Structures are given as C-alpha cells and as structure tokens.
Chains A and B, each alone.
Chain A
Amino acid sequence: TQLLEQSPQFLSIQEGENLTVYCNSSSVFSSLQWYRQEPGEGPVLLVTVVTGGEVKKLKRLTFQFGDARKDSSLHITAAQTGDTGLYLCAGRRYGGSQGNLIFGKGTKLSVKP
C-alpha cells in the first residue's frame, strides 16, 4: 500500500489549460513538499507546506495543505509546455522516522503546444 497516493497518474493537456493534481494519505504529516522532476534528473523542490490549511502561490502554481494535514493539492493555471514533468509529493510523518521523507509515485504531466 502506497502511503502517499497521487492522482492522476498521467495527465496530458493543451497549453493554456488549468489542472489540479492531488496527493492523499490516511496518515498525518508534519510537512509536505512538492518536487518537479525531468527525465534523467533529480527532483527539484518547488515548495514546502507545514501548516494545516496553508496555501502557497508560486507564480502560476498554487499549493494547498489540507486542514487535517493528510492531503495536498497543486493547481497550475494556464499551463505552459515548460511545466511538463513528473510532479512528486513527499512528506514527513508525525510519529514516524523523522529522517524518512516518503514519496508518492508522482503525476506525469505533459503539456502540448
């Protein structure tokens, strides 16, 4: 069983469209991080959310942490071809090993011109 479930697994959209990807768990997390990864490269950190209900905006990207700290979402407005990549969420659980940053399987986004 995957501790962090990401959905959808794949998403193919046209440039200019909006999209939302989700990261869900039955466990509570002290923080959640979102990364973007391109083929053959390491994940690049986009944002960290730590407070339940927190919303963070990074240009066209909006990140939200659920009130119960069990889930998060990433919304992209007016997607561009440069947004193409694998979006990963990762978190540290309360009560678990604080060293173990747990990852979801990711959402593979393809933005077509």
Chain B
Amino acid sequence: DTGVSQDPRHKITKRGQNVTFRCDPISEHNRLYWYRQTLGQGPEFLTYFQNEAQLEKSRLLSDRFSAERPKGSFSTLEIQRTEQGDSAMYLCASSQLNTEAFFGQGTRLTVV
C-alpha cells in the first residue's frame, strides 16, 4: 500500500468556480478525515467518515462545501462558488477507528 493519496496536488481556480478534490485512503482504513490548513496554522477539522457514513461536520464546513464517500473507499470534497478565503491546503487522512491517522500530501488550492 502506498499510503493516503490526494489528487490534484495543486489547483488554481478563479473565484466563483467549483472545484473537486479526491482522496484515496489506506485500503484497510475505515475512517477518512478532511482537514484544512492555512499558513501558520495547524490543520482544522472539516469532516470525517466511518465507512460511507459522514459522522461529523465542523462549523467550518459551510453549505458551499460537500464531501462524499459513496462506497466507503475514496472520498471527494467539492467546493462550490469558490472564494478567496477558501485558499488553503486541504488535507485528507485515514485511520482504523480511533487509532493513529495517516495523512496524504494535501491539495493546495489557490483562488484568484
């Protein structure tokens, strides 16, 4: 297994456009997490899935954000009508229940 994989690594988009990111977790991990990290800050929790069920969403996850994990394997995070404030590193992690979480390399989003 090659670990958690995120695609794309970098995305530049114009304000108002929609973007979608993909995360492929470690294969035997049933939990998948999305975090956002801005410059100088630690990762901030957005949401997590256990298998295909989305069990928790942060207040940071506005109605322009939606995450899915349809078959309990890979996940997508979509941001609609992007704003400059959405510019950040979007990190995905996976774990087996409450054990240690392993992160992907992240997707760097720049909204211009």
A: which residues have CB within 8 A of B? 4, 6, 30-31, 33, 35, 40-45, 48, 88, 90, 92, 97-106
Contact = CB atoms under 8 A, between A and B. Distances in A.
Q: Which 5 A-B pairs have the closest CB atoms?
A: A103-B42, A42-B103, A99-B48, A48-B100, A105-B42
Interface residues of B, number: 29
27 contacts: A33-B100, A40-B89, A40-B108, A41-B106, A42-B104, A42-B105, A43-B43, A45-B101, A45-B103, A48-B99, A88-B43, A90-B42, A97-B56, A98-B98, A99-B48, A99-B50, A99-B55, A100-B45, A100-B56, A101-B33, A101-B45, A101-B93, A101-B101, A103-B45, A105-B40, A105-B41, A106-B41
A42 B33 contact: no
A92 B108 CA distance: 26
Contacts of B97: 98
A6 B35 CA distance: 19
Contacts of B6: 42
Interface string B70-112: 0000000000000000000101010001111111111010000
A104 B37 CA distance: 11
Q: Is the interface of B mostly helix, strand, loop or mixed?
A: strand
Given A42-B106, A48-B100, A103 B31 contact: no
Interface of B: 4, 6, 31, 33, 35, 40-45, 48, 50, 55-56, 89, 91, 93, 97-106, 108
Given A48-B100, A99-B48, A41 B105 contact: yes
A104 B100 contact: no
A42 B91 contact: yes
Contacts of A88: 42-43
